[in-house]
Amino acid sequence: MKAIKNQEDNLMEKISSLCKRRGFIFQGSEIYGGLAGTWDLGHFGVALRNNITQNWWKKFVDSRRDMYGVDAAILMRPEVWQASGHVEGFHDPLVECKKCHHRFRTDQIEDAKKCPDCGGGFGEVQQFNMMFKTHIGATEESTSISYLRPETAQGMFVNFKNTVDAFHPKIPFGMAQIGKAFRNEIAPRDFIFRVREFEQMEIEYFIRPTDWEKYFEYWKGEMLDWMEEVGIDMGKVHELEVSKEDRAHYSSRTIDFYFDFPFGNKELFGLAYRADFDLKTHKLDYIDEEEGGKTVPHVIEPTFGVGRALLAVLLSAYSEDPEGKQASDGAGEKEKRVYLKFKPSIAPVICAVSPLLKNKPELVEYANTKVYAPLKAEFGRVAWDDNGNIGKRYRRQDEIGTPFCIVVDFDTLSDDTVTVRDRDTGEQERIKVTDLKNYIKEKID
């Protein structure tokens, strides 16, 4: 049991150190000792995040006729959060150790009587509101209170009327938003899994009440399709029907999608039937011309955390060659090979271009002008890599998850072909320089 636990901790350690080493994810405010529950994305983290969010937007907004995008302000009037029930009910149960004063969420500790850090006893359970409170303007009076939004959803509900007035959508239709949300989590943990500042991708899909079960099933299927599309290991995804007692205050039914993270089977995304809770509480309605009259549509809400998507994609992609397996490209034969098996459509770098030797100007010139520049102009996500020997470059690109490494060698100068090396198999093929763009396009598709 202990051995398995060590392996799991080890995997998270490997992932987080790879993310730092290769410029995906850094601890927030690291040079000042770090700020718990915050993480910064480096160059490849931004690229991976953008590929994930763009893929989501393309599938759920751009390729549909019934979806309307929103990008609402993070700061909203406090009435929004009073109406939504978050001021009243967005609490987690908290206990504080009387000895070391560490604080815990009661549902996250094994023994509710003993502090896991020092063995001390706890004080009374308190309800802790997770919204970050702030003040608008120069005064700190109660009238100036505002909150950093704990979910993007309300930014869509408060723009429901604007969207209906501007676009006259027919039911069913949806609103979609990608943006930051903030929660003052009592115990942020597990790398980017539970953090205080994160991004959500959310849809509010407005339906007639009698159709809710049909659309609930429909959105469940759409969510699962998308997870597969971005490369989440579907063998590790499980559905959990959330009991009435555990559902959020606004939900009449919730399914959580869980993922087998190394630190446990934990929530990845959620699907809720919010019924008419939000539109009613904001006193909003809709004229349903087909049904003839004023009505309050019901809502199905598929919700995705961007950071959790990123972590699940990273964990699903993380691969090591079995011990002793020699890479067929001959690079670093005695070392264990680590590679991120991203789908080409999601990989932060689609291909890396190298001259075989960086001190041969004719190779550098050819690689730069005839291979790198046109590919960079076409795909953007193209790296120039001439650091170290070819084996080292392959290992570096493997860890970044680059599906193709293109090498310009002396044969290229005479026959205009290059070597393209496949990340997963290590196999190499000769491709004509003029065919490279189509070759890569096909792989992305």
Interacting residues toward ligand GAP by CB under 6 A: 151, 153, 183, 185, 194-195, 198, 200, 202, 267, 269-270, 301, 303, 305, 307-308
Between 193 and 394, name the residue whose CB sits nearer to ligand GAP: 193
Q: State in angstroms the smallest separation of the CB of 194 from ligand GAP.
A: 5
Which CB sits closer to ligand GAP, 259 or 394?
Answer: 259
Whichever of 182 and 404 has its CB closer to ligand GAP, that residue is 182
- Cα 27–chain centre separation: 17
Distance CA 38, CA 195 (A): 6
| Nearer CB in complex with ligand GAP: 308/421 | 308
Which residues pair with residue 238 across a beta bridge? 258
Strand, coil or helix: 309:
helix
Chain centroid offset of residue 411 CA: 42
Cα(314)–Cα(25) distance, rounded to whole angstroms? Answer: 11
Based on CB atoms, which residue is closest to ligand GAP, 156 or 405?
A: 156
Closest residue to ligand GAP in the complex (CB): 305
Cβ nearer to ligand GAP, comparing 250 with 404: 250
> From the centroid of its chain, how far is CA 106?
27
CB closer to ligand GAP out of 151 and 409: 151
Buried b (16+ CB within 10 A) or exposed e, 223-262: bbebbeebbbeeeebeeeebeeeebbebbebbbbbbbbbb
Show the tokens assigned to 286. Answer: 């809709």
Dig out the tokens for 63 from the structure. 């390729």
In whole angstroms, what is the distance from residue 163 CA to residue 372 CA? 44
| Residue 269 to residue 116: CA distance in whole angstroms | 29
Nearest to 58 by CA among 226, 308, 237: 226
In the complex, what is the shortest distance from the CB of residue 15 to ligand GAP, in angstroms, rounded to a whole number?
16
Instruction: Give the separation between CA 389 and CA 143, rounded to whole angstroms.
Output: 64
Shortest gap between Cβ of 9 and ligand GAP (angstroms)? 20
Residue 156 CB, nearest distance to ligand GAP (Å)? 9
Judged by beta carbon, residue 202 or residue 385, the one nearer ligand GAP is: 202
Q: How far apart are CA 47 and CA 40, in angstroms?
A: 13
Rounded least distance, CB 310 to ligand GAP, Å: 10
Shortest spacing between CB 96 and ligand GAP, in angstroms: 20
Amino acid in the structure at residue 12: M
Pick the closest to residue 352 from 321, 369, 375 (CA basis). 375
Pairing of strands 253-261, 264-275: antiparallel
| Distance separating alpha carbons of residues 25 and 310, to the nearest angstrom | 10
Q: Which is nearer to ligand GAP, 262 or 305 (CB)?
A: 305
What is the closest distance, in whole angstroms, from the C-beta atom of residue 437 to ligand GAP in the complex?
36
Q: Give dist(CA 266, CA 236) in Å, integer.
A: 11
Q: In angstroms, what is the minimal distance from the CB of 330 to ligand GAP? A: 42
Closest CB to ligand GAP among 41 and 407?
A: 41
Task: In angstroms, give the least distance from the CB of 166 to ligand GAP.
Answer: 23
Beta carbon of residue 27, minimum distance to ligand GAP (angstroms, whole number): 15
Q: Is the separation of the CB atoms in 193 and 263 below 8 Å?
A: yes
Alpha helix segments (H runs only) across 137-269: 153-157, 160-167, 212-229
Structure tokens at 92: 């987690």
